[in-house]
Structure 1
Amino acid sequence: MRLILLGLRMSIGSGRGGMLRTALMSSGAALGVLIVLAALASGAVAKAQDERARGRSPVYATEGDYSSDTDGGSRYTDRPVVAGATRLIEIDDAIGHTPLRRIAIGGATADTEVPPGLARLPAPGEIVVSPALAELIRTDARARERFPQRIIGTIGRKGLIAPNELRAYVGVAVDDPGLDEQRALAGFGGPLRFGRGDEMSDPDVFSPARYAAIAFALFVLVPFGVFLATCARLSATTRDRRIAGLRLLGVSARQAAVVNAAETGVVAGGGAVLGAVLYGVLAPLSTGWPVGRLQWYASDVSVGVGWLIVVVAGTVAFAIAVGVLAGRPARLDPLGVRRGAPAARPTPWRLVPLVLGLAAAAVAGLYERIPVDQRALWLLGAVLFTGLGMSIALPVFSYAAAGLVRRLPAAPVWLELAAARVRHSPGVAPRLVASLTVAIYVAGLGSLSIALVATDRDLVREATPSSATLLQISSPPPGLAADLRATPGLTVAALPPVPVTIGGVEKNALMGDCAEVVAMYRLGAGQSCVDGQVYWLDVTVYGPGAPEKPSFSGEIKLTDGTVVPTPTVTLTASPRFNVAQTAPVLITRQAPVLAGFEPEWKSFDLVAADARAVERAARVVSATAPATYLQGDLGGYRGIDSNLLVLILVCGLTVTFVLGVGSFAAAAIDRTMERRRDNATLIVVGTRPALVAAGEAGSGALPLALGLVTASAATMVIAASLAGILNVRIGFVFDRLAPVLWLAGAALLTGLVLIAVPAYVTQRITAESLRRP
């Protein structure tokens, strides 16, 4: 206990410098624990949202049992099937980029099971909406025009994933055509299902939280480890001198280690507990806090007591381990530490991890005989070894660079002083900049990933997509096509096949207006379509499944024997979208031979001129036919799309950069306070304070610049390797690395300010500065 009290006394009872170090280390541990607990809580959020999403997922009945086309359907066979013809369909929509799920339900009775969060199901002309959607209907015309029905209630939190979710249950007639394909509703609580309509990559909007949890763990744990290690070694020289002094007074090495562990553990433990308390205070207030489009309920943000103990104890144990291991030279050679002897020259073996990482990157990028998946593994190993090797190799680079500076024939005095300090303690300054160097390396790789994901989904094919958007509508109710035709920017492309015979051979002809044909196909140069005419149609479809060219010959007849005029003009057409109907004949709807003929439309295509036209189409369909869905990309951000990946990477890089800058700032301030004794000695003998401050800033700026250059160069090597694996031009990938160079420059300026400013403002020398070790 006496040794533990002595360690505590050494931490907080050594003047302002000791109190500053205690505050920096405690705040670092608190910040790290707070961020780690938040990262762990994202997993709890994902689990809670998953459970609520499954609880409201519909289960459909078929022949007295539940559907067999879902995973895990047998788990629900012991539940009774609700009698009646209640049916529903889940339809995905979007307002702007915000996903919206519309659930049309018809035939609800008093015996129909109600989903979680609803008091009752809506009847035709009624809706039940989420609170966020209710607010949007009140303030946004896009939502108000989608739902002209009467709102009879709001969905409770048991039926919602997050506070910002847009969800609506819409009552429709039991014989609505949109429900024809749906089986009877048996209840709720089944496996998650895809909604109909908008293109999605995940069954529900909760799924991104899983990936956010993984990404935050990757981006948080490594920089937090560096941050905590830096904090654990604050005032390292002063503390080593004290440990050496205890050893010279007769304290054993084991007892000195206990004192060192107590000194570090008490401070780190206090900060870790403070971080846990801050998390406990902030978590209940977090309902509705946005991280991009992700939100949550405060009750979902929970970390078990076991995990809380693991994080706090792990933080303290890691800090103690770093402090005890780093203080080993002071315990084994106390006399050398007390005399301020120069440290040993860094061994070249420190370069091995960095060299191995860069070599692995070169092999992955250049050696094409290795399979692509193995090259990707080589690249992953290169990323890890390079990140580890940079901080280990920095003392070697700094020592060598300082030696070159000292050989300059006319180097300024302050630069020689900086180089001498680097060579005297080659491991001190790199320890100062290691966290910021690693942060820039991680940020560089993350920025590269952001650029590639956000702007280059297909790196090999650089195609420019058409501004027009193709949508499809199935089982449209009467009058919907007319409403859509009257909407600006929309072209209804109903091109139903018409059975014909050509020279006695059964074929299909396309029937439609010329405007519909031009919306779906590009005609050959100089060609045009005139309504009322009949044309041979030569549709060019590229790819391995392209049909053979049709032969145009023979008399054309409808199924009732009516002779179709033989076409005299051939239209050469290529599809505008990845959907194409091929037929040898086009009969325009106004052709006299089709007078009075109107085929049944089971579906039709809809071409929207731009994003605003897509939005108008969604409004018309939702308002006039709520059980009908638009199939296509309506612009909503959902699932693991590029926008979410950018969001996760940006958040992760922000956390990494904050921890890196925080670690650097703590170490820079602490190092300035620690150097006051040596600086005071120089000033007392007549050295100008400005010269001393410049030397102090230079001794930190030299390894900082080397670290940032190493990080930028390593990132470019990894990028070149990636270009080789993807088989794209190196310049194509390097163009996306410009932000890394700007970020490195900003980090260099930030580091110089954090080093130079404290060095200049702490030159007030007192007797205490000379007396205290």
Structure 2
Amino acid sequence: MRRWIRDLALGTRLVVGGGPTAWLRLAMTAVGVGLGVALLLLATAAPTILSGHRARSDARDFAYTDGPASAHTVLIRQTPGSYRHHPVHGVLVQPEGADPSVPPGLSRLPGPGEMVASPALRRLLAGPDGAELRSRYPARVVGTIGDAGLAGPREYAFYLGSDRLTGRGQRIARFGTEQPRQPLDPVLLLLTVVGITVLLVPVAVFVATAVRFGSAARDRQQAALRLVGADRAMTRRIAAAEALLGALGGLVVGAVLFLAGRQLVELVEFDGISVFGSDLHPQPVLAALVAVALPAAAVAITVVALRRVVAEPLGVVRQGVGRRRRLWWRLAVTGLGLAGLVLAGLGRDGGGGVSLPAVAAGVLLLLAGAAVLLPWLVEFAVRRLPGGGVPGQLAVRRLQLDGGTAARAVTGITVAVAGAIALQTLLAGVSHGYVHQTGQDASQRQVLIEDTVPMTAGQRARFAARLRHTDGVRRVEAYGSDTVAATDDPELFWSVMVADCATLRTFAALGDCADGDAFGVDGTDARAPRPGEAVRTTDSPHGARLRLPAGLRSVPARPDPTGMTHAGLLLTPAAADRLPVLGGRLSTSGFVGTDPAEPDAYDHVVTTTVRVDPTASVFSLQGTQVDARFGTVRRGLLLGAIAVLLVIGASLLTTVLEQLRARRGPLAVLSAFGARRSTLTVSVLWQTAIPMFLGLLLAVATGLVLGAALLHLSHATIWFDAAGILGMTGAAAAVVALVTLLSTPVLWRMMRPEAMRTE
């Protein structure tokens, strides 16, 4: 231990006193490590992000009550939940007493015609993009919702005061609920564990690559130390000091980047979700683990890497030159990963017959297998490549001499793409269990409107006319609706639809139809009403009695655009007029067909409906519905993948710049001997493109194997998403191409004669 402390201290003094070159090398290592540390700290803050979002959502949530009105009760009605595909949390409120419950973030409830809006919504309403929303809710904004009442800083939310909710709204005693949290089912838990693993492994790979920056300069330093009497073990410990300093500097850089990210995260929104910077608090235990494990890993990586290097007083010899890399142990790592996944299916932890620790270990080993296989694959391939032109000869020869360095540059990309393909395969394979068919036929009609407020036939006709004149609306089918019960069977209820013949054909196969006709519909779960049968209204326990028309015709039911069939009465307007008990108490519903070429058609329909009655409900018809928890997990994994890809791109740029700096002498010499700038640029591009191509091939193969194994564990059908795989590989190739393009100016600067100067 004393020798380690003494040699690390000596190495530290050599780095600090090594001049600008040593400081630049140290800075690049710190930046590369710091990018990974920032992402690791973000990962440790994920629990606090989720808990903060959950706490604020529960605080503003509400539960309806059947109790009587009091000084604290409030009538509420939620509004249609989106504006231009952006989620909107909107609530109409009407206090019933002198001391009403107030949601978090508000000091008082708004009065009629007043609105309290979130900061993001206030900005929207003040700008040109909020013109339609202003016309939908022409209220005066009198306040701003505080952070305690928002799910995120960029959320659209408002509370709108009203005096029209009596008999229309629902009563709550207070704001705030404590919803029980159901644990994730085994498949979602498996998906979460796999997602976290495949997102963090590339970060670890890049951190391991970053601590090896400046290896050529360290080799020369070791030769000098050997010349003055140091043994090999001492030189390794001294070299580890630079890696340790770089890792410690990376911790500082990562912490600074994380703190800066906390200030900027509120400016970012993804799929309608934003995060408060105050929620980004790393878990202390996990953050401490990162702070301790990272420097230790940096020292270990450096010592292990130097085992292949022989430093002598007259120079440095790398044992890898002229000696082929061994394949067997690299395949053994992959085999151990597959074995871990097999054992995962035999375990019992985590439920469903899946051992989650074994899954994580198997995924980790498979991705590590891809990382260690890539240098062997590059070496194997470049030995057989023809030289081609001058740029090709330079690139191939460079890869033949030092393919390991080029492979390390794209190892992180390889591991990230392999994990992303496996995750995409698993998502696609298990999604069928979380994407449900609703039965709705969105090809017929796209919007459903339901208004419980009674309307006369004239009011309903005017409402339908306003809808038909709305931008983006092609067809409107409005009808009045109610419910009646059989007098001889109090458990038998029938729906009542009042509309013209064209609209009534939405619910049944009518055949001939004229105004004045009445129809009894046969449903799948109830008999049809009979001609002349006595029924009663359901507005009270002892509703008004009426007798059905004697000319009631029985017709078969037809599924409406929601996929439902209705057993009951279909009445034309003249037939309804003969039943005055129903005429003045029908609520209004309707189906709206919109123009697919008008992207804001749904918003136009909502605006027209809300201006007629703010308490009406508007629904978008969709053929499928995604489970909410599955959607949350999928969005979180996608957001994490984007963050990892950005960090990988930045780290890769740092790696490429460090490699160019290390080769500035040979590049300048070639340029001085007459090599054209374009020739050297193309050769450097080939040096990146060849390992990248091989890495992506390996990533696709590893991702498919891992994805198939995970699908087998989740008992899902093995199926591969070709479009998703191509998208992942294309995105990775684009990142590498962009990084190479950004490094071109540095490459040209390295070709100047001044780069031949050396110490």
Bin the TM-score by the shorter chain: 0.7 to 0.9
Cα distance 1:572–1:606, how it changes in 2: closer, same or farther (>3 A)?
closer
- Taking the TM superposition and a 5 Å limit, the aligned residue runs for 1:124-139 are 124-139=112-127
Q: Structure 1: which 5+ runs fail to align?
A: 65-81, 195-200, 203-209, 365-370, 540-545
Q: Distance in 2 between matches of 1:711 and 1:218?
A: 16
Whether 2:741 is the aligned partner of 1:737: answer: no
Q: Of 9, 24, 28, which aligns to 2:28?
A: 24
- Taking the TM superposition and a 5 Å limit, the aligned residue runs for 1:495-644 are 495-497=481-483, 508=494, 510-514=496-500, 517-518=503-504, 520-521=506-507, 523=509, 527=511, 529-535=513-519, 537=521, 546-547=524-525, 556-559=532-535, 564-566=549-551, 570=555, 573-583=558-568, 586-591=570-575, 594-598=578-582, 601=585, 605-610=589-594, 614-616=602-604, 618-619=606-607, 622-623=610-611, 625-626=613-614, 629-630=617-618, 640=628
Q: Of 478, 482, 486, which aligns to 1:492?
A: 478
Q: Distance in 2 between matches of 1:133 and 1:573?
A: 42
Q: Distance in 2 between matches of 1:299 and 1:234?
A: 35
1:682 CA displacement = 8.6
Cα distance 1:90–1:378, how it changes in 2: closer, same or farther (>3 A)?
farther
1:362 CA displacement = 12
1:232 CA displacement = 0.6
Whether 2:210 is the aligned partner of 1:231: answer: yes
Q: Of 72, 82, 86, which aligns to 1:98?
A: 86
What's the counterpart of residue 395 of structure 1? 375
Q: Of 734, 743, 746, which aligns to 2:734?
A: 746
- Taking the TM superposition and a 5 Å limit, the aligned residue runs for 1:351-362 are 351-354=331-334
What's the counterpart of residue 39 of structure 2? 35
- Does the 8 A contact of 1:395 with 1:426 survive in 2? yes
Q: Distance in 2 between matches of 1:537 and 1:767?
A: 89
Whether 2:151 is the aligned partner of 1:161: answer: yes
Q: Which amino acid aligns with 2:417?
A: I
Deviations 1:97-139 (A, max 9, x none): 2333333333443333433333323344444333444444444
Q: Which amino acid aligns with 2:150?
A: L
1:169 CA displacement = 3.1
Q: Which amino acid aligns with 2:316?
A: R
- Taking the TM superposition and a 5 Å limit, the aligned residue runs for 1:624-703 are 625-626=613-614, 629-630=617-618, 640=628, 648-649=636-637, 651-675=639-663, 701-703=689-691
- Does the 8 A contact of 1:87 with 1:105 survive in 2? yes
Q: Distance in 2 between matches of 1:711 and 1:309?
A: 32
Cα distance 1:753–1:48, how it changes in 2: closer, same or farther (>3 A)?
closer
Structure with more contact order per residue of length (Cα contacts < 8 Å, sep ≥ 6): 1
Give aligned pairs, total.
714
- Taking the TM superposition and a 5 Å limit, the aligned residue runs for 1:699-710 are 701-710=689-698
Q: Distance in 1 between matches of 2:284 and 2:704?
A: 43
Q: Structure 2: which 5+ runs fail to align?
A: 184-188, 345-350, 469-475, 536-544
Q: Of 191, 207, 211, which aligns to 2:178?
A: 191
Cα distance 1:424–1:666, how it changes in 2: closer, same or farther (>3 A)?
same
Q: Which amino acid aligns with 1:429?
A: A
Q: Distance in 2 between matches of 1:238 and 1:62?
A: 77
Deviations 1:311-346 (A, max 9, x none): 444443332332233223447x75897244544421
TM-score by length of 1: 0.74
* SS across alignment from 1:433: helix
1:384 CA displacement = 4.6
Cα distance 1:358–1:750, how it changes in 2: closer, same or farther (>3 A)?
farther
Q: Distance in 1 between matches of 2:375 and 2:427?
A: 32
Deviations 1:84-107 (A, max 9, x none): 372333514222223333333334
TM-score by length of 2: 0.75
Q: Which amino acid aligns with 1:491?
A: E
Q: Distance in 1 between matches of 2:27 and 2:586?
A: 72
* SS across alignment from 1:295: coil
1:426 CA displacement = 5.1
What's the counterpart of residue 270 of structure 1? 249
* SS across alignment from 1:345: coil
Q: Percent of counterpart pairs with the same letter? A: 24
Cα distance 1:86–1:341, how it changes in 2: closer, same or farther (>3 A)?
closer
Q: Distance in 2 between matches of 1:153 and 1:756?
A: 52
What's the counterpart of residue 328 of structure 1? 307
Cα distance 1:156–1:374, how it changes in 2: closer, same or farther (>3 A)?
closer
Cα distance 1:2–1:384, how it changes in 2: closer, same or farther (>3 A)?
closer
Whether 2:144 is the aligned partner of 1:142: answer: no
Cα distance 1:153–1:348, how it changes in 2: closer, same or farther (>3 A)?
closer
Q: Which amino acid aligns with 2:477?
A: T
Q: Of 403, 408, 419, which aligns to 1:431?
A: 408
Q: Which moved more, 1:22-31 or 1:307-316?
A: 307-316
Deviations 1:288-317 (A, max 9, x none): 443453334444444477766554444433
- Does the 8 A contact of 1:535 with 1:568 survive in 2? yes
* SS across alignment from 2:574: coil
1:59 CA displacement = 6.5
What's the counterpart of residue 171 of structure 2? 182
What's the counterpart of residue 205 of structure 1? none
- Does the 8 A contact of 2:449 with 2:589 survive in 1? yes
Cα distance 1:572–1:639, how it changes in 2: closer, same or farther (>3 A)?
closer
Deviations 1:570-591 (A, max 9, x none): 46633332322124x6443423
Cα distance 1:463–1:106, how it changes in 2: closer, same or farther (>3 A)?
closer
- Taking the TM superposition and a 5 Å limit, the aligned residue runs for 1:719-734 are 733-734=721-722
Q: Distance in 2 between matches of 1:283 and 1:623?
A: 41
Whether 2:48 is the aligned partner of 1:48: answer: no
* SS across alignment from 2:168: helix
